[in-house]
Amino acid sequence: MNATDATIGEIGEGATLARIFPILPSSRRTTLGPGDDCAIVTVPDGRVPVTTDLMIEGPDFRIGLSTGYDIGWKACATNLADIAAMGATPTALVVGLAAPAATTVRFVEDIARGFHDAATALAPGCGVVGGDLSNAPLVMLAVTALGEFDGVEPVTRSGASIGNVVAVAGPLGNAKRGLDILFDRAISPDGSIDPVAVAEAWASHPVDVAAQLRPEPPIAAGRAAALAGATAMLDVSDGLVLDARRIATASGVAIDFDLSAVGDIDALTGGEDHAMLACFPLNAKLPAEFRVVGRVAPGDGVMVDGVPFDSRGGWDPFADYSATSSQ
């Protein structure tokens, strides 16, 4: 058997884990890592933000558009962003992976490399402390992320006040444009994927395609916002309007965006940017990563230039998933 072509079904769970453990990033908070029934991590602050996210082949990624490396990177980055959006610093990840037995070991190793490189680049000191590996008809990941506040108060969605400024750290709309490019050029009407077209999309639109397949959320901006007095915050995973409406609902206010500051319709409604959206007191000194895009106003919901924006304004996996369309 050629080791590079072996499948996880052929070598089994134990041998597969032995191949990927050395690749995975380690956490500076690990007392006991992979190998026992549980991992053990230290919690100096005493408070632990915890989040979990699923990535399912089909609704969340397409093999062929995404490599194993892309899948690992994105699964890591999106969970790090959730921790950062609370004002916390990511410390540890627990990763559950299920895949068909015919999946190559190399593909699983590439997922591990994606986790390693994303954690190293975006949240140094955060690593994979444990997880699980199983058999399934599709590739599926369940990632749980943990963090620490290190003396900073958590920033929730419910603290925005009338008169606050609304600001964003990170690009908006690039991930939506990247997805549209990939679907328009690389997916045929029957759902098949052209690998040459994927490579051409990377070559011609590297920024937009990377924003979709290998996002780089501004992780450090979350803690910076908390230190600057942010009153509410979340990461823009489903779309700026849709996610802003969540802050508005939780806080009992309206959010009014300035379209010229936001950009365009892709920036307003495109999902998966994983930018940090935060509200700040009017007199707060904003961290350098943030730019003002609106204000908190009386009322409810989301407005754009003072006009209510009543459509959903973002991604809903139950309403929007299609095998052949990015819409």
Residue 69 has pLDDT above 80, yes or no: yes
Rounded CA gap, 111 and 76, in Å? 10
Residue 3 has pLDDT above 80, yes or no: no
| Mean pLDDT, the chain, integer | 94
Instruction: State pLDDT tens for residues 271-321.
Output: 899 999 999 999 999 999 999 999 999 999 999 999 999 888 887 766 765
Query: Checking DSSP bridges between strand 290-297 and strand 301-304, what pairing results, if any?
Result: unpaired
**What is the average pLDDT across 50-70?**
96
Give the pLDDT score at 321: 59
CATH topology of domain 155-327: Phosphoribosyl-aminoimidazole Synthetase; Chain A, domain 2 (3.90.650)
**Class in CATH terms, 12-148:** alpha beta
Write down the domain spans for the chain: 12-148, 155-327
Residue 224 has pLDDT above 60, yes or no: yes
Residue type, 63: I
pLDDT above 90: percentage of residues in the chain: 90
Burial 279-316 (b: 16+ CB within 10 A, else e): bbeeebebbebbeebbbbbeeebbbbeeeebeeebbbe
Q: List, in sequence order, the alpha helices (H) in the chain.
A: 8-20, 68-84, 105-122, 174-186, 195-204, 206-213, 219-227, 240-251, 259-262, 265-269, 317-320
CB atoms within 10 A of CB 53: 16
Give the pLDDT score at 45: 86
Cα 11 from chain centroid? Answer: 31
Query: Checking DSSP bridges between strand 254-257 and strand 301-304, what pairing results, if any?
Result: parallel
Rounded CA gap, 327 and 310, in Å? 18
In order, the DSSP letters of 251-288 are HT-EEEE-HHHH-SHHHHH------EEEEE-TT----T
Give pTM, 2 decimals. 0.94
Give the pLDDT score at 316: 74
Angle at 135 between CA 129 and CA 137, to 5 degrees: 125
